Amino acid sequence: MQTRKLGSSNLQVSALGLGCMSMSSGYGPPGDTQQMTALIRSAVDKGVTFFDTAEVYGPYVNEELVGEALAPFKGKVVIATKFGFDLDPVSQQRTGGVNSRPDHIKAVAEASLKRLRLETIDLFYQHRVDPQVPIEDVAGAVKDLIQQGKVRHFGLSEAGVSTIRRAHAVQPVTALQSEYSLFWREPEVEVIPTLEELGVGFVPFSPLGAGFLAGKIDETTTFDPADFRNSVPRFSPEARKANLALVEIIRTVAARKAATPAQIALAWLLAQKPWIVPIPGTTKLHRLEENLGAAAVQLEPEDMKEIESAAALISLQGARLPEAALKMTGR
């Protein structure tokens, strides 16, 4: 597996990481712990060194899973986790509110360190911007944790350009994690140029459009009742039917390159910038192997031009998130 540096930092990771959320939440019932542990360790065997989790995935259980699975590889892998949501102390579920008060950030760090079985968190993201807490205070709190040796790198997730700049002025931001794929390209307008200017790495989540770009979903597909895609406008049956035109473009290139649609979608992302590191998630070994195969797919300039020209003719249907979730992005 090739490696990449996140921006101008010294944080070097595998060109493709592994998003671990779906192993515990978001896409239906949680996976079997033993099977998910084996999957994470298989990823290490295949060269993956970058793993993404968060306290709210579960909540808590995803960090515990990742911590146990990666304990034998301490010092050989990079683990990213996140703070920034309020969790009810009794039900241990999200209250729906954000919380990036400095005292809360520091408490989350201590708890995450224990669950992850670490002395230092490699990359600590603010999960969503808290409009009630100045980003300078957030960056300052993480700076304190870095000085104490409890965190190595500071990250933001789904933050807007102004927030990124203000945070970076207090504590250099190593990476931004936000949605980006052929299915959602808005970061190209302002975010990516800003990251390039500041030397901040980019970690796209949902790099396969929450599975849509893998080519296995159509308007007749049904999702588990607990799957978040049931509430996403872009995944309504009507929107899926219209948006399949994008998948057909990817299929055409995939057939010519002897690759799968998922591999083309990931290779397209890798070809955008050398400091972009996608983190596709999966609960299946064969999907993990397929995704990692994207690192070996070389898209030539004519391939990229073909994708670009054809995609420009398509107007994708449906919002990428429910309205309440969208209000928490781009702040």
Select which of 57, 60, 125, 180 is catalytic: 57
180 given a catalytic annotation: no
Mean residue pLDDT across the chain: 97
pLDDT confidence of residue 95: 72
Q: Can you give the pTM of this predicted structure?
A: 0.97
Q: Give residue-wise pLDDT tens across range 123-162.
A: 999 999 999 999 999 999 999 999 999 999 999 999 999 9
Rounded to an integer, the average pLDDT of 241-259 is 98
Read off the pLDDT band of 88 (50, 70, 90).
confident
Q: How buried is 247 (Cβ within 10 angstroms: 0-12 exposed, 13-18 middle, 19+ buried)?
A: buried
Q: Flag whether pLDDT at 92 surpasses 90.
A: no
* Domain 3-213+273-297 fold: TIM Barrel (3.20.20)
Rounded to whole angstroms, how far apart are CA atoms 279 and 266? 10
Instruction: Identify whether the C-beta of residue 219 lies closer than 8 Å to the C-beta of residue 238.
Output: yes
Q: Flag whether pLDDT at 96 surpasses 90.
A: no
